């Protein structure tokens, strides 16, 4: 009864958000038509002539499309593994230190890089890894030849993955800290009385308690296998490393907004969006089935 | 036997602590290095002699920034953007989360709206259609393009919605019996109870809008409309080390004012560096709220 009277007010509350959603999230979906048209800015989307699947066919003929796809998946997969394993190991290491003040201080410090933008991190990294930068100074002191790090296509993926882990591992560990603090301390006490060593306790109590969370995090990250990190690569890459560092998102940016190939860029972006939607749905479905995880 | 074991385990624990300290140092090292560069004499930096401690200590870079009008203009744009976006997101998220926290029984269209939001969170038109839409909406060179351009913060809405759902029902029911309407319930009962989650989404919003740089590169045709991060990118990052040979690269780096850029980078990260330790308990809570659910 009362709720019926509330319905009108509920709609009023939804309106500001729905307007925002309509203009910025929904309206661009109409622009997807450009993927099937020869877009002419003068004529607008509706009046531009249809070309069917021409853009998609052209995309598969391009030499770099398979390379760009391969780069994307390689970098994204390496990040996925690294951003699961490193935070987990780090959380386990920190969990073994019983001094709370030390633990909290280290946590606060390792969260820091997460709060820096990729512009800033890239600015610092490009400087530190430049030919005359401190990293090369250290190499020099060790008697090695200086390395032009960010101009080397063979090193670029490793630098991207490494710097991403550096930036995010602390923040990604939060979820593991939460799982670790929820372990019942009586388990440890009982194990200690039974004479289990610190290592045995880690192996038989701590690890089994966080593995389900790790499995969940890993499953959810599967949906991101086409997201290699635009903000990061856009700020770090240059033409010399396109062969290993160019990813779908950076390619779409250059094709669409620099070279004005609207139709082609929209087609590639659409393909990525659809694949991403399927991947995320599958990973969420898996997480729901096996871990009873629900987003809403 | 027992003593021997404890020596090994002590050794391992000590090693563990040392490793953790090394990891922590590695996390602040780049920030520290930037600060050291910004406080050094240009010639030492260009010669690559500065690493952990400023050489030829000087504040001249920071003095030079004072007369850099574009830096201040961009800083101000970023501040405005964060303020507008925070206020707007806070209100919109709060208003949307409440009806959506109801069951489909209490608010019939709830599930349809929810699926619309989920779909929009997981699927988007892509970069080019987004740009065309923003252009047609007149968002070019407008700060509203930056405030609204990221789209509805759906993830944050879900976070707050889940929080509302976990609040005890009795709070709302007793307010109902006292004759409170939906607006009254939301603002006088639920909002005061939801400060932790609202603080969390506020942190996420502030960090996102302070750090976002790309939308301005696409939407702003003039540099004087750039927010701080886009401006920093323009002066400190968008330099291509590979188009040129080593000698030229060296010369260019000497010309590009390294100490001045370091000072700009340092100032641009300062606001977040100062506030995030105080907000730690909120974002930690937010992460666990959004990720682990039974």
Q: pLDDT digits over B253-290, tens only?
A: 555 678 888 999 999 999 999 888 888 888 887 777 65
**Residue B241 per-residue DSSP state:** T
pLDDT value at residue B287: 73
- Show residues of chain B in contact with A37, CB under 8 Å: none
Nearest Cα neighbor of A179 from A92, A73, A82, A49 is A92
Structural domain tally of chain B? 2
- Show residues of chain B in contact with A113, CB under 8 Å: 27, 30
Structural domain tally of chain A? 1
3-state secondary structure (DSSP) of residue A50: strand
A223 to chain B: closest CA residue: B122
Tokens 């994204």 belong to: A76
- Whether residues A262 and B132 touch (CB distance < 8 A) is answered with yes
Q: How far apart, in whole angstroms, are the C-alpha atoms of residue B58 and residue B260? A: 11
B36: which 2 tokens? 């050291």
Q: How far apart, in whole angstroms, are the C-alpha atoms of residue A259 and residue A13? A: 42
pLDDT value at residue A166: 97
Same domain, B11 and B111: no
Q: Mean pLDDT, to the nearest integer, of B65-92?
A: 94
pLDDT value at residue B292: 42
- Whether residues B9 and A113 touch (CB distance < 8 A) is answered with no
Q: Is residue A85 part of a domain?
A: yes
Same domain, B239 and B103: yes
Same domain, B38 and B90: no
Q: Where are the beta strands (DSSP E) in B98-245?
A: none
- Show residues of chain B in contact with A109, CB under 8 Å: 24, 27-28
A132: which 2 tokens? 């005359």
Same domain, B51 and B195: no
Instruction: Decide if pLDDT at B211 tops 70.
Output: yes
- Show residues of chain B in contact with A134, CB under 8 Å: 33, 48, 51
B160 to chain A: closest CA residue: A296
Same domain, B54 and B71: no
ipTM reported for the complex, 2 dp: 0.89
- Whether residues A21 and B183 touch (CB distance < 8 A) is answered with no
Residue that terminates a domain, selected from B58, B78, B104: B58
- Show residues of chain A in contact with B96, CB under 8 Å: 13-14, 16-17
Nearest Cα neighbor of A251 from A266, A232, A265 is A265
A116 to chain B: closest CA residue: B269
The band of B251, judged by pLDDT with boundaries at 50, 70 and 90, is low
Per DSSP, the residues of B259-283 read: HHHHHHHHHHHHHHHHHHHHHHHHH
- Whether residues A273 and B34 touch (CB distance < 8 A) is answered with no
Q: pLDDT digits over B180-194, tens only?
A: 889 999 999 999 999
pLDDT value at residue B180: 87
Same domain, B71 and B134: yes
Among B157, B182, B268, beta carbon nearest to A10: B182
Residue that terminates a domain, selected from B9, B28, B58: B58
What is the phi/psi pair of residue A37, to 5°?
-130, 160
Interface test with B, best of A46, A108, A124, A245 (most B CBs within 10 A): A124
Same domain, B210 and B134: yes
* CATH number, position A207: 1.10.3720.10
- Whether residues B288 and A174 touch (CB distance < 8 A) is answered with yes
Same domain, B76 and B36: no
| Shortest CA gap B287–chain A (Å) | 7
pLDDT value at residue A1: 42
Packing angle of the helix pair B195-211, B69-100 (nearest 10 deg): 140
The band of B243, judged by pLDDT with boundaries at 50, 70 and 90, is very low
Q: Is residue A57 part of a domain?
A: yes
Same domain, B111 and B240: yes
The residue range of the domain holding B10 is: 1-58
Cα separation values, B168 from A76, B171, B293, Å:
41, 6, 17
Q: Is residue A6 part of a domain?
A: no
| Shortest CA gap A153–chain B (Å) | 11
**Low-confidence residues of chain A, pLDDT below 70?**
1-3, 295-296
The residue range of the domain holding A172 is: 34-291
Same domain, B136 and B278: yes
Q: How far apart, in whole angstroms, are the C-alpha atoms of residue B67 and residue B293? A: 52
- Show residues of chain B in contact with A276, CB under 8 Å: 122-123
Same domain, B121 and B233: yes
Q: Is residue A268 part of a domain?
A: yes
Same domain, B138 and B282: yes
Per DSSP, the residues of A123-191 read: HHHHHHTSTTSHHHHHHHHTTPPP--GGG-TTTHHHHHHHHHHHHHHHHHTHHHHHHHHTS-HHHHHHH
- Show residues of chain B in contact with A238, CB under 8 Å: 240-243
pLDDT value at residue A23: 96
Among B123, B261, B294, beta carbon nearest to A292: B294
């Amino acid at each position: 009864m009362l709720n019926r009277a509330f319905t009108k007010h509920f709609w009023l509350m939804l309106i500001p958000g729905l307007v925002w959603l309509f203009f910025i999230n929904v309206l661009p979906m109409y622009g997807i038509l450009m993927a099937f048209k020869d877009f002419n800015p003068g004529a607008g989307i509706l009046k531009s002539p249809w070309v069917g699947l021409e853009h998609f066919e052209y995309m598969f003929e391009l030499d770099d499309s398979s390379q760009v796809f391969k780069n994307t998946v390689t970098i994204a997969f390496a990040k996925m593994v690294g951003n699961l394993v490193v935070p987990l190991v780090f959380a386990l290491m920190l969990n073994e230190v019983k001094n709370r003040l030390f633990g909290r201080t280290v946590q606060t410090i390792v969260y820091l890089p997460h709060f820096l933008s990729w512009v800033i991190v890239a600015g610092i990294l490009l400087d530190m890894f430049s030919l005359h930068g401190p990293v090369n100074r250290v190499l020099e002191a060790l008697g090695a030849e200086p390395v032009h790090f960010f101009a080397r296509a063979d090193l670029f993926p490793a630098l991207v993955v490494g710097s991403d882990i550096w930036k995010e591992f602390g923040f990604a560990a939060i979820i593991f800290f939460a799982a670790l603090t929820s372990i019942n301390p009586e388990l440890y006490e009982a194990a200690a009385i039974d004479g289990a060593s610190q290592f045995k306790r880690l192996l038989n109590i701590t690890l089994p308690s966080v593995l389900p969370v790790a499995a969940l995090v890993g499953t959810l990250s599967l949906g991101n296998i086409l997201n290699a990190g635009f903000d990061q690569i856009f700020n770090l890459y240059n033409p010399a490393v396109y062969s290993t560092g160019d990813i779908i998102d950076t390619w779409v940016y250059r094709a669409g907004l620099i070279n004005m190939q609207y139709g082609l860029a929209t087609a590639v972006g659409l393909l990525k969006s659809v694949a991403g939607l399927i991947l995320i749905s599958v990973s969420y479905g898996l997480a729901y089935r096996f871990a009873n995880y629900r987003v809403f | 036997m027992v003593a021997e074991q404890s020596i090994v385990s002590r050794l391992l624990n000590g090693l563990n602590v040392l490793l953790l300290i090394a990891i922590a140092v590695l996390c602040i090292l780049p920030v520290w290095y930037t600060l050291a560069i910004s406080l050094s004499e240009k010639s030492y930096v260009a010669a690559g002699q500065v690493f952990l401690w400023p050489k030829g200590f000087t504040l001249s870079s920071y003095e030079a920034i004072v007369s850099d009008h574009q830096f201040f203009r961009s800083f101000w744009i970023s501040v405005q953007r964060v303020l507008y976006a925070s206020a707007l997101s806070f209100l919109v998220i709060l208003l949307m989360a409440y009806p959506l926290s109801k069951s489909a029984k209490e608010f019939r269209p709830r599930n349809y709206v929810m699926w619309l939001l989920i779909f929009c969170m997981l699927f988007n038109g892509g970069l080019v259609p987004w740009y065309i839409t923003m252009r047609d909406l007149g968002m070019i060179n407008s700060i509203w393009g930056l405030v609204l351009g990221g789209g509805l913060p759906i993830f944050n809405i879900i976070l707050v919605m889940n929080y509302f759902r976990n609040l005890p029902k009795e709070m709302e029911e007793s307010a109902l019996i006292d004759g409170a309407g939906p607006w009254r319930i939301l603002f006088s009962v639920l909002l005061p109870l939801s400060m932790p989650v609202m603080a969390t989404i506020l942190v996420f919003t502030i960090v996102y809008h302070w750090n976002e740089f790309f939308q301005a590169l696409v939407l702003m045709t003039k540099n004087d409309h750039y927010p701080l991060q886009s401006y920093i990118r323009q002066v400190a990052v968008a330099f291509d080390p590979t188009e040129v040979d080593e000698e030229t690269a060296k010369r260019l780096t000497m010309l590009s004012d390294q100490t001045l850029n370091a000072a700009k980078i340092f100032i641009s990260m300062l606001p977040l560096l100062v506030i995030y330790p105080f907000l730690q308990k909120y974002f930690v809570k937010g992460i666990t709220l959004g990720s682990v659910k039974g």
